Structure formats: structure tokens, C-alpha cells
Amino acid sequence: MGQNFNTNNFTIGPWMCSMGLFLRKGGNITGIIANVMGAFRAKYRPLLLSRGEYVPTGTLRDNDIVGAIADAIAKNVGKLTPQVVRKDEKGMVIKNDYLARLLKLRPCPEMSTYDFLYRIASDLVYTSNSFSVIFWNDDFTRVTSIQPITTKSFRIFEDDKHNILFRFRWDYDGETYTVPYQCVIHLKARYNKKRFLGTSPDIELKRSLDLIETSGETVKNIVNRSNSLAGYLKYNNLADNNELKQIAKDFQEAYMNADNAGGIAAIDSTVEFKEISQRAPNVPTNQITFLRDNVYRYYGVNEKVLTSTLSDQEWISFYENVIEPVAIQLGYEFTYKLLTPREIGYGNKIEFTANLLQYATLQTRDTIGGNMFDRGAMTINEYRALMYYGPVEDGDVRMVSLNYVKAGDQSLYQVGKDGSKEEPPQDKQRKAMEAAARAYFEAMKGG
């Protein structure tokens, strides 16, 4: 994929468009788009006045608080496991075909699956929109790679043929490209205002982040002034204004700065320094904490998430509120844009799953894992992995406890009889007649 991305022409896969061209700014602005059935081909020309949405990339990537939040969320999204599954009346099958291996190992040449998902999640935090371009082979039958992109600016719009297109300026090379929107994995956060895009956090967080920045500058000024002198100079000789200003400037540059760690100045008899006592302002700790927590609430996290000190229940809440919505979006987008309608119709789908016990305590793991193991829901190696042990040979088997039977079979189970078979009615009738005949003969003998 890497060798194809910087070229003007490349092929894109086959859902709504069986062919497509990246359109480079300043180059030829015509291309070919065809639907998945190949019923038509239409030339198109993106119009500057066409309906669309344009958003520049935000500036939150330089903020330390948002950066810590993005890292905490992205690390947990990166632990999701992609699976290509098929569900039908016969049950569920986890597939291990080419697409499944691509998603599980390396969606694009420079990224592992963890890096791939980390990048998607972090872009979602910073800009509320994450884009990944899908690349296909020459005959559009196989995905070759999926490339997450960081944009300097982007725009989603419709052309005069009602084809939805995605135009972006790639941060990697600074060039502008256009690609059919159907060939872009697009995840959105706070999808509540625009047709195509999630609401950018830049404006919504601007006030809180500006106040935090101002508070930080206040703390910085307090530190800078903590060891410096403050006062005025009394010059004992006659001097004009320019000379007095120069004396004050020289004194200030020499002693009234952060480099004067000792807070001591040396002067002669011509100058007398009168110190002005300073009242050190209080650091607005409560205000800074409130503003920081406001940013935390915006993203649904807290201090425990950033420091990885969540309890079992807190981790479940964090997963359901923050991580699971991303996993659901990933599943829908990947299923719709990587699989054909025929494959989806046969029950194929792409899911992103998580091990909810990965942050549980050892006691919780033992309790839940033990119950699942006894019921055959977990293999030996899966249970060992849950308890931080390595796999063993022949450990991929499920064990079932024989202490569980159907409620109606308890007596039969205790005496070791098989109650699954019932005597035919004719046998019962024959045995009854034989018993009656024996009783009759016994009575005759006795008589």
C-alpha cells in the first residue's frame, strides 16, 4: 500500500465503486466511479459549490491533559481483538481467512493491529473523527491494506452525480487527495450536529483549556518571582531621567530575575535599594482541579483511568461508557465497507471484542474463570492464561463437570440407570398378561 499511496492513480475496492482515483490538487479533476454491480460508469467533476462539510484539523494534540486522555483511551481500544465471524441457523463460526489474518496481525505495512487501533482511537479523541483509507488489489477481490491518515484539513461532499467524496490534505506529504467516501473507514464521536462529521472538541473545550492555560501561566509567574528582588532604587547623586532608567535597567537585568537564586544584590554608596515586600499569591489549585475534571467529564474518564487504578466495577463502567461504543462503531464500519452485500446476507460480520476480565483482580478471575471452566465454556489454556500461566500441550480442550444433570434425571443418575429409553407399549402389555397368567396358575394350585 505504501508504494501506491503517493501516486496519483490507484485502485479502490468494490462496494459502491469498483474503480476510483485519488484526485491530486492542481491535476486532472476527472475520474471514474462505478457501483458494485458494474451497471454504470459516470465521469464526475467535484464542484466547489457542491454540498459538503469542511473541517480543519484541531489543535488539541499539543495539550498535555487531552494527550493523557487520548493515550489512556487509545491503549484500551488497541487491546480489542478483530474477528470475522459467520452466524446462521447452524451457529457461529470464527473464520480464519485472509481478511481475518490481515485484521488480526497487520492492517497496513507500518502498523500492527494494536498500533492501528491506537491511532484510530487517538484521532477520535483529538478531532472526533477518524479516517482510514481502504486499498484493494487489481481485480477488487481482496483488501491489501487499510491506512489510517492524519489530515491537515478535510472535506466530505457530494458531486453533481450524488457521489459522496472525501477530500483531504494528508499530513504525511502535504498533498491534497480525493477518494470515494465508501472506501474510507470513518468513525465519529459526538455525532449530533452535522450530516457527515462528529462535533469537533476544539470549540467545546476551548474555554476550559484556555482557563487551565491561564492558571498555568499564573503558577509559572509565581515561580519566576519567588527568588527575585522587588523594590525601587534611590540614587544619591544627581542624574537625568535617561541615566536613572539605565541604572534601573542594569540593576534589574543583573539581580531581579530567576537566575538570582540567592536573592542578593551588590550595590555601592551611590545607590540605595528599598525593598517592597511581596505577598505571594495562592496557587488556584481548586480552580485548576475543577477545570481539569471538566475536561475529564467531557471524555468520560477520571484520574483512576489515567493512572490505571480502576476497580473491577469501575473498569466495567469505563469499558461500557467509552471503549464499547468505539468497538461497536468499528464493527459496523468494517462490516459494511469490507464485506460484500452477499457476504453480509449470509451472516458474515466483523466484530471487535475485548476480554473484560483483563483488569479484574486475581480473586475475581478465579471465581468467574472457575465457574466457566466447570461448565465447559473455557479451555484449560484459556483458564491458565486468565490466571497468568502459560499454555500447556493438549490444553485446548473443554472439561465439563459430571455433577450437573437434568432435574428430572436425578434419581436415575444416582442409581446409574439410563432413563433415556422407555419400554414400548406392547412390551408393557405382554408383561402384564404374563404376570396375570402366573397369578391365575398360582391361585389354581393353591385351590
Query: How many whole angstroms separate alpha carbon 309 and alpha carbon 320?
Result: 17
DSSP 8-class letter at 19: S
CA distance 235 to 255: 17
Which residues neighbour 247 within 8 Å (Cβ) at sequence distance 6 or greater?
Answer: 233, 235, 239, 271
- Going by the DSSP 8-state scheme, the letter that residue 351 receives in this structure is E
133: left (phi over 0), alpha (psi -120 to 50) or beta: beta
pLDDT attached to residue 68: 94
Residue 3 confidence (pLDDT): 36
DSSP label at 404?
Answer: -
Q: Which of 348, 396, 385, 330 is nearest to 113 (CA)?
A: 330
Each residue's pLDDT tens digit, 90-126? 888 989 999 999 999 999 999 999 999 999 999 999 9
How high is the pLDDT of residue 205?
87
Q: Which residues of the chain have pLDDT under 50?
A: 1-51, 54-57
C-alpha cell at 291: 477545570
- Report the 10 Å Cβ neighbour count for 260: 14
Q: What is the pLDDT of residues 186-195, one digit of tens each?
A: 999 999 888 8
- Whole-angstrom distance, CA of residue 354 vs CA of residue 376: 20
What the block records as the C-alpha cell of 325 is: 461504543
Cβ contacts of 166-175, under 8 Å, gap ≥ 24: 166/131, 167/23, 167/46, 168/131, 171/57, 173/6, 175/6, 175/24, 175/25
What pLDDT score was predicted for residue 395?
A: 84
Mark 131-141 as b/e (b = at least 16 C-beta within 10 Å).
bbbbbbeeebe
* 284 phi, psi to nearest 5 deg: -75, 70
Count of Cβ atoms closer than 10 Å to residue 222 Cβ:
13
- Distance from the Cα of residue 141 to its chain's centroid: 28
End-to-end CA distance of the chain: 104
Which of these, 185, 187, 165, 186, lies nearest to 176 by C-alpha position? 165
Instruction: Sketch the domain layout of the chain as residue ranges.
Output: 2-199, 407-446
**Of 176, 180, 177, residue with least CA distance to 158:** 180
In the prediction, which pLDDT does 424 show?
Answer: 62
Structure confidence at residue 287 (pLDDT): 82
Q: What is the pTM of this model?
A: 0.69
Output the pLDDT for position 78. 95
